[in-house]
Chains A and B, each alone.
Chain A
Amino acid sequence: MSRLPPLEELVNLFEVEEVARQRLAPELFESIAAGAGAGLTLGRNREAFDRITLRPRVLVDVRAMDLGTQLLGRKLETPILVAPTSRQTLLHPEGELATLRGAAAAKATVVLSSRPGIPLERIAAQARGAFWCQLEPETGAGEFRQLVRRATDAGAQALCLSAGWRGEKPAPPVDWTLVARVREWTPAPLWIKGILAPGEARTAVEKGAQGIIVSNYGGRLVDGAMAAIEALPAVVEAVGRHVPVLIDSGFRRGTDVLKALALGANGVMLGRPPLWGLAAYGAEGVQKVLELIQTELALAMGLCGKPNLAAIDRSLVKIHKR
């Protein structure tokens, strides 16, 4: 095995991916990397960013950079969160504990998978940073209530219901009566993840979702689906005035995040990159991944004349046909 490069030598997320590729067993690395089918959507998630350029404004005072934002009443240091991914102990013995520790050091919120490698209560007991919990729609009603209670008791700041995706097969349709009841069971706000179509976003909000997460699950669900960033503008148009909208799938650069913010997203989640950091370096790798992209975002904002998130709007981007 080649030498593990010191963390400070890594200058972007793709290089962290490369180290993870070296360190992990090929099948394990592939289990993170894989997309559905021929990988069309996997590729498209990245290519779509190359069709969006930025329109930087100059001669704006950007001495005081502030990436902070509010999401459903909670203050976030930056608009970048860690997306839910399952069984992180497969990648590193400390698993979710390390992910939370690294994210806390980078002041980022983590969404814990509904299938963690370590019991939720144990993670929560050691967590220093903020976390949300993921829910699965097909869980039986009794068990579902139990999950919501455990997450609430553990201190989850929000819940995130992942629609449309379970293992290799589609999940059953969302039971909307369950969604309505979650609102009674817990004060934690409920997000629905996996939305690409504006009509579905509208439905989810009507049925009680307090936030929408635009996602094609990193190209792992339906091959041929549009890139998440391509789906974003219509979803924001449909529900952005009423609820906050987050997005994930393919974000690797600070400029990617900035484009999503300009197109109306309130924040961005990273799925694979924190796993690369975790697998190669543990908590410090997670921290490094987050700090790299946070810094890239701050830099891109500064160079675009946007000292804070409120200054970012649609006029910052231009979408090209190629």
Chain B
Amino acid sequence: MPAPFSRRAALRRLGAFAASSPLYQLGGQQRPPGLRERVPALEEIESVLEFEPVARARISRTAYDYVAGGVDGEFTLRRNRQAFEWAELVPRALAPAAAPDLSAEIFGQKLPCPILVAPTAAHSQVHPEGEKATHQGAAAAGVLMAVSSNSSYPIQEVAAAAKGPVWFQLYARDTPEGTRDRVERALAAGCQAVLLTVDTQYMSHRERMLHDRHLNIPAAGVPVRTRSRRQAGAPPAPYRLQPQNPDLSWKTVEAIRAYTNVPFLLKGILTAEDARLAVEHGVSGVVVSNHGGRYLDYAPSTLEALPEIVQAVGGRIPVLIDGGFRRGSDVFKALALGARAVLVGRPPLWGLGAFGPEGVRRVLEVLQAELAMAMAATGCATIAAIDRSAVLVDFA
């Protein structure tokens, strides 16, 4: 393989890559297992972040880069994690909660905890059984799974792989009929809510993946694409974009809502203005999301965006959130700022890549245990008891 740059450039890139890893935020407590280190067994793993290096060692480079990468310089990817450092828990030494109850409720549905598996694409990149295995792991931990439109297995197979509840993440298709067909398949498979992703107007520049492509590293099961050429029929503008959903509008939202007879949420809201419009257009809920830092770089961290959205919504519909959640205390902070539930995207994939369904289960159990500890320390006996006074933030 020819080196495209000098050693210095390679080192610089490696440094930038390491700096962008959530592991870096831990001050070197953890790092990918080196040649002389053993890979820990599942039962030895105590925190979610420890799964990432194990998964990384076990999946292809392209799969890892696909999961780990953000857009452009990965500012938003980093800021999602950073923002948690700007929110602090307020412990209650005199009145801790002995056995906190994590059970939650959303759209009339009882859940054992307010943590959900976020929709992410193509799980077969990290495990041959793909989303079926993820669903098995999530169900074993009692956690609801949102399944992506771009899952490796059809929604009915994923839903049938375990008994746990599933939601459906919807990417609108090119035609209204195609979109409706996709929704109806999901509803027939038993999905209990639909989340329409609204932040993917154009395909973003994932620089790690662009480099992988230039190095001609084949992605698992995906043919190496030839170098990008101007698409036939594309305008001769000096700037060339790859459209994904540039025509999505509030009309699309209304049309889909009309035939979707389960709760219908919008995923990818980052402003009070759009949150208000969402309420006005009758959606059931919003997910504050920057797509894990994968679409618009310099989008705000979701934790920083959360307060203005919670305020704009004013309790009329539930506000959910995703983006960089790796600790039970992270989840606690979002709940304290008004989120009803938290979705985790990359951590279940680390669990899946590292240990299969058992890894997914363990990741979700660790998060629940950590959330329980945060609740105990802050004297919150129930999820409903977690309020704004339980955290100090210096960004809101």
Q: A residues engaging B (CB < 8 A)?
A: 2-3, 5, 8-9, 11-12, 18-19, 22, 49-50, 52-63, 65, 67, 77-78, 106-108, 253, 255, 259, 290-291, 294-300, 302-305, 315, 318, 320
In the complex, whether B73 has a CB less than 8 A from a CB of chain A is yes
Tell me, in angstroms, the Cα distance from A52 to B299 when the chains sit together.
9
Q: Which residues of B contact A (CB under 8 A)?
A: 2-6, 9, 12, 72-73, 75, 79, 198-199, 201-202, 204-205, 207, 210-211, 214, 227-228, 237-241, 243, 246-250, 252-253, 266, 268-271, 273-274, 277, 295-300, 304, 395
Q: Is the CB of B3 within 8 A of A2?
A: yes
Taking a contact as CB atoms under 8 Å apart, the answer to whether B9 and A302 are in contact is: no
Task: State whether B205 touches A22 (Cβ < 8 A).
Answer: no
Pick the contact of B239: A5, A58, A253, A295 (CB < 8 A). A295
Please pick, from B205, B277, B395, the residue contacting A299 in the complex, using a CB distance under 8 A: B205
- Are the CB atoms of B238 and A11 closer together than 8 Å? no
Give the chain A neighbours of B241 by CB distance below 8 A: 65, 295, 298-299, 302
A-B contact count (CB 8 A): 138
Interchain CA distance A36-B157 in the complex, whole Å:
63
Given contacts A58-B274, A299-B204, 11 further A-B contacts (CB under 8 A): A2-B6, A3-B2, A5-B4, A9-B4, A11-B205, A12-B205, A53-B299, A58-B198, A61-B248, A65-B239, A255-B72
Q: Report the separation of the CA atoms of residues A302 and B304 in the bound assembly, to the nearest whole angstrom.
A: 22
| B240 proximity list for chain A (CB < 8 A) | 295
- Knowing A11-B211, A18-B12, A299-B205 are in contact, say whether A62-B246 is a contact too (CB < 8 A): yes
State whether B227 touches A59 (Cβ < 8 A): no
Whole-angstrom distance between the Cβ of A195 and the nearest chain B Cβ = 26
Are B252 and A52 in touch, CB under 8 angstroms? no
B271 partner residues in chain A, CB cutoff 8 A: 55-57
A11-B205, A11-B207, A11-B211 known; A54+B299 contact, CB < 8 A: yes
* A302-B246 contact, Cβ under 8 Å, with A55-B271, A255-B298: yes
Given contacts A61-B246, A295-B239, contact A253 B72 (CB under 8 A): yes
Q: Taking the nearest CB of chain A, how far is it from the CB of B237, in angstroms?
A: 8
Give CA–CA (A297, B207) in the complex, Å.
16
Q: How far is the CA of A61 from the CA of B251 in the complex (A)?
A: 10
Cross-chain contact B295 with A55 (CB below 8 angstroms) = no
Is there an interface contact between A299 and B202, defined as CB atoms closer than 8 Å?
yes
- Establish whether residues B198 and A12, one from each chain, have CB atoms under 8 Å apart when the complex forms: no
Please measure, in the bound complex, the distance between the C-alpha atom of A57 and the C-alpha atom of B271, giving whole angstroms.
7
A298 (CB) vs chain B CBs: closest residue: B239
Write out the residue numbers on chain B whose beta carbons fall within 8 Å of the beta carbon of A297. Answer: 239
Report the Cα distance A53→B12, complex, angstroms.
Answer: 25
Q: Are A303 and B202 in contact (CB under 8 A)?
A: yes
In the bound complex, do residue B395 and residue A58 qualify as a contact, i.e. CB atoms below 8 Å apart?
A: no
Q: Which residue of B lies closest to A320 (CB)?
A: B395
Cα A123 to Cα B211 in complex, Å, equals 37
Can you sample 11 A-B contacts with CB below 8 Å? A2-B5, A3-B3, A3-B4, A8-B214, A11-B205, A67-B239, A108-B238, A255-B296, A300-B297, A303-B295, A303-B296
A19 to B198 alpha-carbon distance, docked (Å):
37
A59/B249 contact (C-beta < 8 A), A11-B210, A299-B202 known: yes
In contact, B211 and A303 (Cβ under 8 angstroms): no
Q: How far is A78 from B198 in the complex, measured between Cα atoms in Å?
A: 26
Cβ-defined partner of A57 (8 Å) among B247, B252, B274, B298: B274
Given contacts A3-B4, A298-B241, A303-B202, contact A59 B252 (CB under 8 A): yes
Answer whether A60 and B239 are a contact pair too, CB < 8 Å, given A53-B300, A55-B271, A302-B201. Answer: no
5 tightest A-B CB contacts, nearest first: A298-B239, A303-B296, A58-B198, A53-B300, A294-B239
Bound Cα distance A58, B204 (Å): 15
* Cα distance A55–B273 in the bound complex, in angstroms: 10
With known contacts A3-B4, A11-B211, A55–B300 Cβ distance under 8 A: yes
CB-CB under 8 A for A22 and B5, given A58-B269, A303-B199? yes
Q: Which residues of B contact A22 (CB under 8 A)?
A: 5-6, 9
Interface centre among A106, A108, A291, A299 (most CB of B within 10 A): A299
